[in-house]
Amino acid sequence: MATVVDMTEDTVLVAMESTACEPHHVALPELSGVSSITSQSENAEIHEQQQLRVYLKVRPFSVEELKNNEDQGCVVLEDSETIVLHAPKGSASMKSSEKGIGQQVYKFSFSQIFGPNCNQTEFFEGTISSQVQAFLHGKNALVFSYGVTNAGKTYTIQGSPKDPGILPRALEVLFKHIGGRQYEHMDLKPYLSSDVQKLDSELVKLERNAKAALFSLLKEDPEPTKLRKRSSTSSINSLSFSNVSYDHTVDSADGMADEAHCFYSVWVAFYEIYNEHVYDLLQPAQSSKTKRRAALRVCEDSTGSSYIRDLRWVNVQNTEEFSKVLRVGNKNRSAAATKMNQSSSRSHSIFTIKLIRIEGADVQALSELSLCDLAGSERCNKTKTFGDRLKEAGNINNSLLILGKCIAALRNNQGFRTKSYVPFRESKLTRLFQGMFCGRGRASMIVNINQCASTYDETLHVMKFSAVAKQVLQVIPPRSLESLAPRIVGLDGKPLLKNGVIDDQAVDDYLSEEELLDGDEADMSILPQEELVNLVESLRVKLLAERRKNLLQEIQIRKEMGDAMLQQIMEAEELHSRQMEDLKESYEEKMDSTFEMYKEALKEHAYQCALERLEEDYIPIEEYKEEQERVEVLEKRVCELEQKCRCSGPLPNVQDNSMQTNALPTTEASGAERFKLLYKEKCAVENLCVEKQEFIMSLEQRIGELNDTLQEAGESYMEKLAEVQNLQNRLSTREQEIECLQSNIMAKEKEITGLREEITKLASDSIGPPRSRCGLLVNIKESMTPPSTGSLCRTIRKSVRATSLRKKAS
Ligand SMILES: Nc1ncnc2c1ncn2[C@@H]1O[C@H](COP(=O)(O)OP(=O)(O)OP(=O)(O)O)[C@@H](O)[C@H]1O
């Protein structure tokens, strides 16, 4: 377990979790290794950091695709690092963008983009060429291609006979680098994850025979099997590498003069992961048709690095042999796929090259280059339906999902002080390449896409994945010369003589506890007492070591749990504050909208009243004008009459007037009649005035009513205002509650810190001297695990009894 945490203020760089360690480190992790904290400047000196290189390759349209109108301008290359995706009509992205979810146009950036017109040479030079150079000089590298099916992943890796892909080009560069320095004996072979096994002459012979048998498979079937019609062009028949360029200046520039005396041994393996099972593609096909392929186990060596047990490594001496191996692998892959009614695009195929650098009798370095052609990344619903197919789809998608999760977790760990769990162990694929993401080598990713409108949604998914991957920061710790030299082991798996002395410690590290106990138990009954005591002592030491290991594991688990809890608390806190913010906003919005509502209601009411009043008071304009004219005429008459009256003295009583009518001369009689008429008219005018007065009064009454309504509305507004006030009060209570919660969280954090300190204390205490109160036999009992525990104790008891009997007899 190795963790590097940069604790600088603004950038917390990396918090990667790994069980893959540098070769030859001790099996027991150091306590300080659980979490080593270094400053940024220190890190810059010690570690090499680089973002995961993510390259994009856009495949050209095929003739059929153009016929099927797949070219709808979905993919637009903006420049050598930027690409824009436009959702075509009918795609799920377009539909969701029309509903207001998601976008129609997406922009992505890559380390380098290679368009449809780019050839394989340019692609190799622009992508993994530097990684291949590093591999030649002892560094590990992983390249994986990701994309939907038919996007050109296999073409990118294997290429076509005319235009080889990155894998044959890498091999070509490798053999050009080796030149005449080929190590021709096949007696040094890769072993476990990063060691080398010394083979005896018998095994070398077997190795040669096996290789010949493997190549003879091609004689029976000279034509490469066509896996699928469309991929037949990418199968490798006989490769010509004439156009592969090799930069000889690199070696001299690197000053690798020492390497001039070295010899190189190249070993390759080719396997696939299908349905979470690992299958060797270089094992001869089973003769019986019904026989299932043997799945290989993924194991870990004493350094915690993963390797595939019983994987076949084939020694290759030149590019011809390599292309034969590749053909056999492809043939086996296609045969297996046909037998299982599967498509090869549903398995991940991995080609690994191991380069052993030998000087004299010593192995100087071992480096590894893996090229992984991932299964098509399309999702379950489109491709599969039921039963085995669904399981298969689940497994493919699961391993890609876990890969995505690991990449996302690695990216997230860069931004947080507390590192989250990286689920490397949840799939075979990520388990095997965990080391490459955790400092054992440099990884890079090739994203393959086609430009077809029909696969736009899947392509978008691929691009989003790669956008996350691009943010992953790789930290490569420098390797000391010591760590570069792999361990050479014998046929029994034990390290061989080093400077004439057997490295006991190394043997112990290599042998599992089970093996040690078995051996001891077999010898125990014939051991003298002194040796038994020694054995007990050594077992006690082992027990202590085991306890220490357990404790460290427990500490690590507790730490992880603590971190996870802290993360959860932080997340909960963030969620809570976000909820409170939302609540506050929604209350404010509600308050505003209520206020607006009342304002609107008041306005509406006033408007309605005004309208009603207008309707009631409405008089047609003609009527009004007539009335006006009549009033004017009447006013004139009144004026005239008044003048006359003033001229003729005070007006007589009406009755008197009637009595005197007959006596008056005719002119006076007509004047009186006019007067009567005028009087009537005056009365009518007065009546009109009274009516108007009444109308004014009714208007005043209406105004009064309106005022009342306004007052009522005002009162209800005040009530609502009080309600709003009440809501505000509740809001402030909630805020107080949040503060209270925050203080609780602080207290919890303190508790966690206390717990951590306790754990650290516990750890340091436990490493101290053993508890003397436990008896020796008690310790043995504890150290043993059933079933070996019982038998070992019984054997010890027997031998103790035998010794005491012997004593008595003497
Ligand atoms: N750069 C290219 N130039 C010309 N043809 C290409 C290119 N890339 C891919 N092709 C062609 O496209 C087709 C699909 O490519 P390939 O088989 O490599 O896809 P894939 O992603 O590996 O598919 P699967 O996941 O199903 O294995 C092949 O016929 C291949 O020859």
CB 191 within 8 A of CB 351: no
Please tell me the residue having the least CA distance from ligand 1 atom 17: 231
DSSP structure string for 634-694: HHHHHHHHHHHHHHT-SPPPHHHHHHHTTTS-HHHHHHHHHHHHHHHHHHHHHHHHHHHHH
DSSP structure string for 629-640: HHHHHHHHHHHH
Mean per-residue pLDDT for 798-803? 62
Question: Is the predicted pLDDT of residue 807 greater than 70, yes or no?
Answer: no
Mean per-residue pLDDT for 283-303? 75
Mean per-residue pLDDT for 614-634? 83
Question: Is the predicted pLDDT of residue 551 greater than 70, yes or no?
Answer: yes
Which H or E run includes 306? strand 306-308
Quote the tokens at residue 690: 């009274």
CB 16 within 8 A of CB 416: no
Among the listed ranges 347-351, 442-446, 575-579, 766-770, which one has the minimum average pLDDT value? 766-770
Among the listed ranges 177-191, 542-556, 646-660, 717-731, which one has the minimum average pLDDT value? 646-660
Mutate to test the pocket of ligand 1, among 157, 231, 345, 348 (most ligand atoms within 8 A of CB): 231
Residues forming beta bridges with residue 735, ordered by sequence position: none
d(CA 60, ligand 1 centre) in Å: 9
Count the helices and strands in the chain (H runs, E runs).
Answer: 24, 22
Tell me which fold the domain 4-484 belongs to: Kinesin (3.40.850)
- The reported pTM is 0.57
d(CA 157, ligand 1 centre) in Å: 10
Write down the pLDDT at residue 667: 59
Dihedrals phi, psi of 678, to nearest 5 degrees: -65, -40
Query: For residues 322 and 413, which has the higher predicted lDDT (pLDDT)?
Result: 322
Mean per-residue pLDDT for 403-407? 88
The pLDDT confidence band at residue 772, using thresholds 50, 70 and 90, is very low
DSSP classification of residue 3: -
How far does Cα 7 stand from its chain's mean position?
23
Question: Is the predicted pLDDT of residue 25 greater than 90, yes or no?
Answer: no
Please tell me the residue having the least CA distance from ligand 1 atom 8: 152
Compute the distance between CA of residue 303 and CA of residue 509 in angstroms, rounded to an integer: 9
The ipTM (two decimal places) reads 0.97
Can you tell me whether residue 592 is helix, strand or coil? helix
Among the listed ranges 113-122, 331-340, 605-614, 629-638, which one has the minimum average pLDDT value? 331-340
Mean per-residue pLDDT for 44-58? 75
d(CA 150, ligand 1 centre) in Å: 5
Distances (CA, A) of 767 to 146, 477, 549, 550, 782: 47, 28, 10, 11, 17
Please give the number of the atom of ligand 1 that sits closest to the Cα of 234: 31
Please give the number of the atom of ligand 1 that sits closest to the Cα of 120: 1
Please give the number of the atom of ligand 1 that sits closest to the Cα of 376: 25
CB 796 within 8 A of CB 532: yes
Write down the pLDDT at residue 124: 95
DSSP structure string for 393-436: HHHHHHHHHHHHHHHHHHHHHHH-SSPPP--GGGSHHHHHHHHH
Detail the residues annotated as belonging to a binding site for ATP.
147-154
- Burial of 373: CB neighbours in 10 Å, binned 0-12, 13-18, 19+: buried
DSSP structure string for 193-261: TTEEEE--HHHHHHHHHHHHHHHHHHHH--SPP-SSTTTGGGS-SS---TT----THHHHHHT-GGGGG
Please tell me the residue having the least CA distance from ligand 1 atom 11: 152
Q: How does pLDDT run across 86-142, given as a tens digit for each residue?
A: 999 888 888 888 888 778 899 999 999 999 999 999 999 999 999 999 999 989 999
Compute the distance between CA of residue 380 and CA of residue 207 in angstroms, rounded to an integer: 42
Mean per-residue pLDDT for 271-283? 90
Compute the distance between CA of residue 470 and CA of residue 493 in angstroms, rounded to an integer: 40
CB 442 within 8 A of CB 138: no
Q: How much of the chain, in percent, has pLDDT values that exceed 90?
A: 28
CB 70 within 8 A of CB 451: yes
Write down the pLDDT at residue 536: 84
d(CA 235, ligand 1 centre) in Å: 10
d(CA 126, ligand 1 centre) in Å: 19
Please give the number of the atom of ligand 1 that sits closest to the Cα of 344: 27
Mutate to test the pocket of ligand 1, among 144, 150, 235 (most ligand atoms within 8 A of CB): 150
CB 330 within 8 A of CB 226: no
The pLDDT confidence band at residue 85, using thresholds 50, 70 and 90, is very high
Compute the distance between CA of residue 161 and CA of residue 234 in angstroms, rounded to an integer: 7
Highest mean pLDDT of the ranges 176-185, 241-250, 281-290? 176-185
Please tell me the residue having the least CA distance from ligand 1 atom 10: 152
Quote the tokens at residue 342: 């599967």
State the amino acid at position 527 in one-letter form: L
Compute the distance between CA of residue 790 and CA of residue 127 in angstroms, rounded to an integer: 59
d(CA 230, ligand 1 centre) in Å: 8
Among the listed ranges 85-99, 385-399, 747-761, which one has the minimum average pLDDT value? 385-399
The pLDDT confidence band at residue 235, using thresholds 50, 70 and 90, is very low
Among the listed ranges 89-93, 232-236, 713-717, 767-771, which one has the minimum average pLDDT value? 232-236
State the amino acid at position 273 in one-letter form: I
Which H or E run includes 296? strand 295-296
d(CA 463, ligand 1 centre) in Å: 18
Please tell me the residue having the least CA distance from ligand 1 atom 25: 149
Mean per-residue pLDDT for 440-445? 90
Ligand 1 site: residues with CB under 6 angstroms? 59-60, 147, 149-155, 230-231, 233-234, 345, 376, 448
Where are the domains positioned within the chain? 4-484, 583-649+671-766
DSSP classification of residue 495: B
Compute the distance between CA of residue 710 and CA of residue 605 in angstroms, rounded to an integer: 9
Closest CA to 475 of 433, 439, 421, 422: 439
Quote the tokens at residue 286: 């089973």
Write down the pLDDT at residue 512: 41
Closest CA to 353 of 336, 340, 366, 335: 366
Write down the pLDDT at residue 788: 44
d(CA 168, ligand 1 centre) in Å: 16
Please tell me the residue having the least CA distance from ligand 1 atom 4: 60
Please give the number of the atom of ligand 1 that sits closest to the Cα of 343: 26
Highest mean pLDDT of the ranges 222-231, 238-247, 277-286? 277-286
DSSP classification of residue 509: H
Can you tell me whether residue 559 is helix, strand or coil? helix
Q: How much of the chain, in percent, has pLDDT values that exceed 70?
A: 70
d(CA 151, ligand 1 centre) in Å: 6
- Burial of 159: CB neighbours in 10 Å, binned 0-12, 13-18, 19+: buried
Write down the pLDDT at residue 222: 52
Mutate to test the pocket of ligand 1, among 120, 144, 154 (most ligand atoms within 8 A of CB): 154
Half-sphere exposure of 746 (CA within 13 A, CB side): 6
Please give the number of the atom of ligand 1 that sits closest to the Cα of 158: 18
CB 213 within 8 A of CB 392: no
| Other residues' Cβ atoms within 10 Å of the Cβ of residue 209 | 10
DSSP structure string for 183-197: -----EEEETTTEEE
Please tell me the residue having the least CA distance from ligand 1 atom 2: 59
Among the listed ranges 328-332, 699-703, 774-778, which one has the minimum average pLDDT value? 774-778
CA angle 404, 273, 211 (to 5 degrees): 140
- Burial of 456: CB neighbours in 10 Å, binned 0-12, 13-18, 19+: buried
Write down the pLDDT at residue 618: 73
Quote the tokens at residue 505: 């410690």
Residues forming beta bridges with residue 267, ordered by sequence position: 315, 354
Mean per-residue pLDDT for 416-440? 84
Detail the residues annotated as belonging to a binding site.
147-154
Please tell me the residue having the least CA distance from ligand 1 atom 28: 231
d(CA 703, ligand 1 centre) in Å: 86
